[in-house]
Chains A and B, each alone.
Chain A
Amino acid sequence: MIVISDVDYFIGPVKILDGVNLELPKGGISALIGPNGAGKSTLLSLIARLMPLQAGTITVDDLTVGACPNNTLARRLAILPQASDAAPLLTVRELVGFGRYPYHKGRPTPDDHAKVEDALEAFGLVPFADRRLDTLSGGQRQRAQVAMTYAQDTGYILLDEPLNNLDIAASRSLMRVLRELAAAHDRTIVIVLHDINYAAAYADLIVAMKGGKIVAKGTPDEIVTEDILKEVFDTDPKVHRIDGKVMIEV
């Protein structure tokens, strides 16, 4: 379980997060939604210790973010890096191999190699394993990144707007993979999403944020309603329920 207590965050004089208290349960997919500037990404970055906490505490199970050793947290929690072009020279296998770094510190054991092959297999990356990242499409690169996170073997996986720049096929395939990870591999996924339809379709829990505060938290059925959407996003899209699924009009 991730417990966030009394977290404030300022950038200069601007308050980005305002006394956030939130518990994210272990297991399943939790989606953070909200308008631009609501503080979703900031909150995710704070959980992943990408930025130092200014006030409040965040714990991941028994580990306190910021107080526990970096490497210990790296075996417990992973954040999917933005599809970066920082390492175009790496092959897919090398990139996935980095997922094992917190365990072997540069000296991979046969077990680490096996886990990497396992991840390549699980994500259908075997045909591309020796291709360089800069020769892959955006969707394939994203998959390689997820495979790396999978190889990192952490209970918690955080993703910050992973669907940006992905077409519908790649988006759906990524969300299904995450579903699968949560269901079959017992991983806890926390994801920032812009498209509420994706959140409604794939998340178990939706947390709505606005102006640095948590506005609502609940199942897709409870959260994706015209009232709450109007309150959170200041716009009034129609919500339809088709075959028991929630869908909003865009």
Chain B
Amino acid sequence: MFKRRLILLAVLLAACTAGYLMLGAQGNWGFVLPFRGNKLAALIIVAVAISTATVLFQTITHNRILTPSIMGFDALYVLILTVQIYVLGAQEYVHLSQAGQFVANIGLMLVASLALFGTLLSRARGDLMRMVLTGIILAVLLRAVTSFLQRVIDPNEYAVVQGASFARFTRIDVELLAVAALLTCCALLVTWRLRHRLDVLALGDTAAINLGEAPKHNMFVILVLISVLVSVSTALVGPMGFLGLLVVSLAHLITPTASHATLLLSSALISALTLVGGQFILERVLGMSTPLIVVIDVVGGIVFLILLLRRKYR
């Protein structure tokens, strides 16, 4: 379904990718291409991780306005990071290898998010408004605790935390990139294998049980996938705010279907297109230094309001 639209999106993405890599490059190609290539890889990993996590989350919660970011998944990641630095001290923390930090963070993130969101979702899943409220308050609470901890720690340590708490594409760690790519690929592979099951889960709990799928068990599997994907993208570039909401809403507009095979592909393509295309236009064409995330958050925030006002939850 919608094969032509998917192909069109892929072609557009390829064009943006080429433009991003080539345009305005001066000097040694051997230096420029790997340098820009790393950044490009990070953009694409983050884009696909965020869009997939958002689709998964919206499927298990049966709604179209909540996303992992709005519910505070990435705020939880930053909090975990801050707590570690608070407890260990920045010196100790920085001594851990990048990959070590990363794996430790993801492990803690898995435990914390399953405990927190697993409980929340099993209790409030049927009640969308309660979930919106709890999620938003939870996200605010997590951010408040984080900023409280950041205030009490030493300014030098604060600098370490700060580096991890804002979305940025300027400094991408190559070692981290490899681990991130590996983890994202694993999570995406599992998600792709679950695509038919996701179609069934989207029918609602009764229908899913009737067709032999256990919603609760699947919800935990999917929460694990979401935690991994959100951790990866947050570790790589920081919290991405409304990106997930924006691209998945667009995917529902461009490919209106209940098939997760199509939806996962189209939202991933749109997400990559938004980040790569957006970065390409901002950096190369307009020559601006405005962080892309600011633009995405403004547009995404407006989409969030429109969705809430139009009451198109499902």
**A residues in contact (CB < 8 Å) with B:** 48-50, 69-75, 78-79, 81-82, 84-90, 94, 98-99, 101-102, 105-107, 152
Whether B204 lies near A86 (C-beta < 8 A) is: yes
Q: Which of B196, B197, B200, B209 is the one whose CB lies under 8 Å from A48?
A: B209
Q: Which of A73, A86, A105 is the one whose CB lies under 8 Å from B196?
A: A105
Interface centre among B199, B203, B205, B211 (most CB of A within 10 A): B211
A150 to chain B, nearest CB (A): 13
Whether B195 lies near A101 (C-beta < 8 A) is: no
Whether A102 lies near B212 (C-beta < 8 A) is: yes
Q: Which of B197, B202, B204, B258 is the one whose CB lies under 8 Å from A81?
A: B204
B255 to chain A, nearest CB (A): 10
B202 to chain A, nearest CB (A): 7
Q: Which of B62, B196, B202, B214 is the one whose CB lies under 8 Å from A106?
A: B196
Q: Which 7 A-B pairs have the closest CB atoms?
A: A106-B196, A74-B212, A71-B212, A86-B204, A81-B207, A89-B258, A81-B206
Chain B interface residue count, CB cutoff 8 Å, equals 22
Which residues on the B side are within 8 Å of A105 (C-beta)?
196-197
Check if B162 is an interface residue, CB within 8 A of chain A: no
Q: How far, in angstroms, from A42 to B11 measured CA to CA in the complex?
A: 53
Whether A98 lies near B203 (C-beta < 8 A) is: yes
Q: How far, in angstroms, from A24 to B52 measured CA to CA in the complex?
A: 46
**B residues in contact (CB < 8 Å) with A:** 62, 195-197, 199-200, 202-207, 209-214, 256-258, 314
Please classify the interface of chain A as helix (H, G, I), strand (E, B), loop, or mixed, using the class held by over half of its residues.
loop
Q: How far, in angstroms, from A90 to B314 measured CA to CA in the complex?
A: 13
What are some 13 contacts across the A-B interface (CB < 8 A)?
Answer: A48-B210, A49-B209, A71-B212, A73-B212, A79-B209, A85-B314, A86-B202, A86-B207, A86-B314, A98-B207, A99-B211, A101-B212, A106-B199
Please classify the interface of chain B as helix (H, G, I), strand (E, B), loop, or mixed, using the class held by over half of its residues.
loop
Whether B203 lies near A86 (C-beta < 8 A) is: yes
Q: How far, in angstroms, from A88 to B196 measured CA to CA in the complex?
A: 17
Q: Which of B62, B200, B202 is the one whose CB lies under 8 Å from A101?
A: B200
Q: If A84-B203, A88-B314 touch, does A101 touch B209 (CB 8 Å cutoff)?
A: no
Which residues on the A side are within 8 Å of B214 (C-beta)?
70
Q: If A81-B203, A89-B257 touch, does A106 touch B197 (CB 8 Å cutoff)?
A: yes
A148 to chain B, nearest CB (A): 9
Q: How far, in angstroms, from A73 to B209 measured CA to CA in the complex?
A: 10
Q: How far, in angstroms, from A106 to B211 measured CA to CA in the complex?
A: 11
Which residues on the B side are within 8 Å of A85 (C-beta)?
314
Q: Which of B197, B202, B211, B314 is the one whose CB lies under 8 Å from A74?
A: B211
Q: How far, in angstroms, from A231 to B204 measured CA to CA in the complex?
A: 37
Give 20 new A-B contacts, CB below 8 A, not counting A79-B210, A84-B203: A50-B206, A70-B212, A70-B213, A73-B212, A74-B212, A78-B210, A81-B206, A81-B207, A84-B206, A86-B62, A86-B203, A86-B204, A87-B202, A88-B314, A89-B256, A89-B257, A98-B200, A102-B211, A106-B196, A152-B211
- Residue in B closest to A51 when the chains form the complex, CB atoms: B209
B102 to chain A, nearest CB (A): 33
Q: How far, in angstroms, from A70 to B212 measured CA to CA in the complex?
A: 5
B170 to chain A, nearest CB (A): 40
Interface centre among A82, A102, A106 (most CB of B within 10 A): A106
Q: If A74-B211, A86-B62, A102-B212 touch, does A79 touch B206 (CB 8 Å cutoff)?
A: yes
Which residues on the A side are within 8 Å of B200 (C-beta)?
98, 101
Which residues on the A side are within 8 Å of B258 (C-beta)?
87, 89-90, 94
B220 to chain A, nearest CB (A): 15
Q: How far, in angstroms, from A102 to B210 measured CA to CA in the complex?
A: 9
Whether B204 lies near A101 (C-beta < 8 A) is: no
B213 to chain A, nearest CB (A): 7
Q: How far, in angstroms, from A86 to B197 measured CA to CA in the complex?
A: 15
Which residues on the A side are within 8 Å of B199 (C-beta)?
98, 106
Which residues on the B side are within 8 Å of A79 (C-beta)?
206, 209-210
Which residues on the B side are within 8 Å of A73 (C-beta)?
212
Q: How far, in angstroms, from A73 to B196 measured CA to CA in the complex?
A: 19
Q: How far, in angstroms, from A81 to B210 measured CA to CA in the complex?
A: 8
A96 to chain B, nearest CB (A): 12
Which residues on the A side are within 8 Å of B210 (C-beta)?
48, 74, 78-79, 81, 152
Interface centre among A69, A89, A99 (most CB of B within 10 A): A89
Q: How far, in angstroms, from A113 to B197 measured CA to CA in the complex?
A: 18
